[in-house]
Amino acid sequence: MNTKKISLLLTSIVMATAALAQGDPKLTELYTPVPKVVTAGKVTSDAPSDAIILFDGKNLDEWVSTEDTSKAAAWTVGKNILTVKKGTGNIQTKKLFTNYQLHLEWRIPSNITGEGQARGNSGVFLASTGKGDAGYEMQILDCYNNKTYTNGQTASIYKQSVPLANACKKPGEWQTYDVIWTAPTFNEDGTVKSTAKVTALHNGVLVQNNFELKGETAYIGAPQYKKIGPSAVKLQAHGDKSEPISFRNIWIREL
Ligand code: MG
Give residues with Cβ within 8 angstroms of 78, minimum separation 6.
none
pLDDT at residue 13, rounded to an integer: 54
Q: How far is the CA of 4 from the centre of ligand 1 (A)?
A: 42
Q: How far apart are CA 70 and CA 89, in angstroms?
A: 14
**Mean pLDDT in each 10-residue stretch from start to end of the chain (255 residues)?**
59 52 87 94 89 97 98 97 96 98 98 97 98 98 98 98 98 98 97 98 98 98 96 96 96 98
pLDDT at residue 21, rounded to an integer: 53
pLDDT at residue 6, rounded to an integer: 59
Under 8 Å between Cβ of 215 and 190: no
CA dihedral sign of residues 246, 63, 198, 52 = negative
Q: How far is the CA of 121 from the centre of ligand 1 (A)?
A: 5
Q: How far is the CA of 216 from the centre of ligand 1 (A)?
A: 14
Q: How far is the CA of 132 from the centre of ligand 1 (A)?
A: 11
Q: How far is the CA of 118 from the centre of ligand 1 (A)?
A: 9
Q: How far is the CA of 109 from the centre of ligand 1 (A)?
A: 16
* CA proximity to 121, closest of 207, 239, 30: 239
Q: How far is the CA of 45 from the centre of ligand 1 (A)?
A: 23
Q: How far is the CA of 152 from the centre of ligand 1 (A)?
A: 8
Record the pTM: 0.90
DSSP designation for 49: T
pLDDT at residue 43, rounded to an integer: 85
Q: How far is the CA of 5 from the centre of ligand 1 (A)?
A: 40
Q: Is 84 exposed, middle or buried (0-12, 13-18, 19+ CB in 10 A)?
A: buried
pLDDT at residue 45, rounded to an integer: 77
Q: How far is the CA of 14 from the centre of ligand 1 (A)?
A: 31
Q: How far is the CA of 39 from the centre of ligand 1 (A)?
A: 22
Q: How far is the CA of 12 from the centre of ligand 1 (A)?
A: 31
Q: How far is the CA of 91 from the centre of ligand 1 (A)?
A: 13
pLDDT at residue 22, rounded to an integer: 63
Q: How far is the CA of 49 from the centre of ligand 1 (A)?
A: 31
Q: In degrees rounded to 5, what are phi and psi of residue 27?
A: -65, -20
Q: How far is the CA of 25 from the centre of ligand 1 (A)?
A: 14
